[in-house]
A and B are shown apart, each in its own frame.
Chain A
């Protein structure tokens, strides 16, 4: 019999790819959507990253929602806001770079290892790495499988 893998099996971490269309559609609900997903323990790959002010909103709201037990913040490897790409002339013309691809995940699961202007290496921590959270972060615990994906879910 073929085993159907679904979220909540708890063996892995769900990685959700979110399209530009979806992000545009979310509009002002974008940050809420991202945080809700991340707090469920998912790692999101955003086709179009956040603008600097959205990033700051994400940080601010993250800080107000950290509860020190189930949510310790976000890890956001991405090239967003990287102005280096624009030449001097473009900057003088007041052009801002478009937001670029970005990953957002829960800080207890996702860790940026190395980052320069051109490549980023991130890691999803395995259970061993997360041992210190075992009894404290319930999104990784076995007794509490996650419920069915919400309606905004992209599967």
Chain B
């Protein structure tokens, strides 16, 4: 019996897919945390972090392990990592002018945001795949998207592009698809949940 159990355990270990670490990446405010929360809620019942209209709300990476996604007849165990938005510049004045923070608060926020970007970049070494979130109502050719795609390709990391916010009238997921035709693009609204089924299928297909 001991032998049999050990054998079964060994076999299970052999056949069980390892946990896939998936990083949610993109520029600030693309909807990364909203998406991370939706995925986490859909499969574990719990959210992951705080989403907000203030850029760089997420200033530390957050991960949730054991998110077991079932779609298209298979299931995969994911570790979802919500990362801080990547930017090439961070100006504390923006937080004062656009979000009514006082100067001191804005400076702290901006400082933490710069550290968040560095942390997000570090996480690239640890993930097995990336959900690259873009705001479909914005120009897809921004430097962050282009730089990220270049690096994901250079590292041969499986990537699925999320064309988010398609509930907005001015959104154009086709523009994203045309800009990066070499990758799968899944149009969703992380806010309403529209398109999530397609996303889960794509996650199983490209990351599973």
Contacts and interface: CB of A to CB of B under 8 A. Distances in A.
B182 A117 contact: no
A80 interface: yes
Q: Is chain B's binding surface mostly helix, strand, loop or mixed?
A: helix
Contacts of A76: 88, 143
Interface string B144-177: 0011011101100000000000000000000000
Given A91-B182, A115-B139, A83 B150 contact: yes
A64 B121 contact: no
Interface of B: 86-93, 107, 110-111, 114-115, 117-118, 121, 124, 139, 141-143, 146-147, 149-151, 153-154, 179-182
A115 B138 CA distance: 11
B170 to A, nearest CB: 16
Contact of A80 (B90, B150, B154, B180): B150
Size category, A interface: 35 or more
17 contacts: A53-B154, A56-B147, A59-B88, A60-B117, A63-B115, A63-B118, A64-B118, A66-B114, A68-B92, A72-B89, A73-B90, A77-B143, A81-B146, A82-B146, A84-B180, A112-B143, A114-B139
A109 B146 CA distance: 22
A68 B149 contact: no
A108 B94 CA distance: 12
A72 B151 contact: no
Given A83-B149, A91-B182, A107-B91, A52 B154 contact: yes
